[in-house]
Amino acid sequence: MAETTRIAVTPGDGVGPEVVEEALRCLEVLRTKHNLALEWTRFPWPSHTWHQKHGESMPDDALDQLRHYDAILLGALGDPGPLDDPDRYLLSDSVSLAPLLEMRKGFDQWVCERPARLLPGARQYLADERAKDIDMLVIRENSEGEYVSQGGRLRKGTEDEVATQMEVFTRRATDRIIRYGFEQARARAAERVKEGRTRSFRSLDGNRDTQAFESQVCLVTKRNALRYWGDMYTEAFEEIRKEYADVAIHHELVDAACMKFVQNPWAFDVVVASNLQGDILTDLAAVLSGGMGVAPSCNLNPSDTGMPSMFEPTHGSAPDIAGQGLADPTAMLFTTARMLQWLGRKDPVMAAAGKELYSTVAADLKENAGKQRRTREIGEAICQQIAG
Ligand code: IPM
Ligand code: MN
């Protein structure tokens, strides 16, 4: 029997515990059905509840504890809700969300992968019918850039106050994220071929009339204004693309990318962006593909198998509906499916279980398009489908 895969489950705040509960039910059904060597441990932290009791969101040795797991499944962090309770225990965003960034940094989860595919049954916000072809993967640099948290405030509280917020871009992190983007473009093209789907992209580098490509990587920067890292990203992109002659390339400035995500998002395949620009683009991409209720997210460390990767939906703690059993667990379940596929890189049974969960959630979405259902009801329907 394969070595046991261990997951640290951190439900967090607000709707986090509600959607995580459904993910665990589905995992339980999959574990029984496929005899998966999988186990999980729930952690009461990071969370507001823990902070209220202990004065910190998680224990000092939290990362040391989590390091021993193969993956972290996180619900949501932030305002615990409900919004209409004025006495609820609240923390500033920079405190409540800090554990997320600590995990990403502490485990060097240098890729944030956020797929945005408009699946049948998901809400279509764009009127254009071609929106049905939206199928992109936004890859966000997750280890540095605008999120290094370096800087400070000088002469705080005075009229002469100065705030500095540094951005750091290293060639090493640039190369690895761009190369990862090209690898994903290839892998996605191969997957499409298996499914009998094709797409066609052209390189916009002066050879417009030539070859059509199966896949594309679009690099996003703001190199017209932020030229130092913009130029370094561009040079790295030019260099690395030579290893991927089968993949079309493209570049967009981030403001134009926002415009084109709305005008013709179906023209994008893999998109590589910096930490902050990727953060913003992925909220937009989530809405283009059905909204936060269906948008998965993965924080991955592809280079060090000894470090856990972290899986969380793109959405937050949704304090407006917290505690009511109304949250849509679909994003959490898609995220869980991706976690199983990630954990199954060397275990075909685990990977197949991930695929099964993905297609069951997708089928449920299609069948129940637009229906108002409770968290439990959605989870239950999916569990029943899997159990057969
Ligand atoms: C996200 C969130 C986080 C981020 C916040 C909560 C720090 O917006 O995961 O996209 O900006 O990375
Ligand atoms: Mn975000």
How do residues 341-384 score in pLDDT, each as one tens digit? 999 998 999 999 999 999 999 999 999 999 999 999 999 999 99
Residue 279 Cβ inside 6 Å of ligand 1? The answer reads yes
- The pLDDT value recorded for residue 1 is 52
Query: What is the average pLDDT across 171-190?
Result: 98
Q: Which atom of ligand 1 approaches the CA of 112 most closely?
A: 9
Please state, in angstroms and rounded to a whole number, the distance separating the CA atoms of residues 55 and 354.
37
Note the Cα 316 to chain centre separation in Å.
12
Q: Does residue 208 register a pLDDT over 70?
A: no
Q: Does residue 227 register a pLDDT over 60?
A: yes
Residue 141 Cβ inside 6 Å of ligand 1? The answer reads no
- Cα 280 to ligand 2 centre (Å): 6
Q: CA of 180: how far to CAs of 30, 175, 221, in Å?
A: 30, 8, 17
Q: Which atom of ligand 1 approaches the CA of 104 most closely?
A: 12
Number of CB atoms found within 10 A of residue 384's CB: 12
Please state, in angstroms and rounded to a whole number, the distance separating the CA atoms of residues 280 and 135.
18
Q: Is 302 helix (H, G, I), strand (E, B) or coil?
A: coil
Nearest to 90 by CA among 14, 198, 150: 14
Angle at 250 between CA 246 and CA 254, to 5 degrees: 150
Nearest to 352 by CA among 360, 340, 364, 362: 340
For 160-177, b/e burial (b = at least 16 CB within 10 A) is eeeeeeebebeeebbbbb
Nearest CA to ligand 1 atom 9: 314
- Cα 277 to ligand 2 centre (Å): 10
- The pLDDT value recorded for residue 134 is 98
Residue 97 Cβ inside 6 Å of ligand 1? The answer reads yes
What are the tokens at 142? 């997750």
Q: Is 40 helix (H, G, I), strand (E, B) or coil?
A: strand
- Cα 144 to ligand 2 centre (Å): 15
Residue 269 Cβ inside 6 Å of ligand 1? The answer reads no
pTM as predicted? 0.96
Residue 364 Cβ inside 6 Å of ligand 1? The answer reads no
Count CA atoms closer than 13 A to 257's CA, side-chain side.
27
Sign of the Cα torsion 260, 271, 235, 210 reads negative
Residue 41 in contact with residue 4, Cβ under 8 Å? no
Q: Does residue 2 register a pLDDT over 80?
A: no
**With pLDDT > 90 as the criterion, what percentage of the chain qualifies?**
96
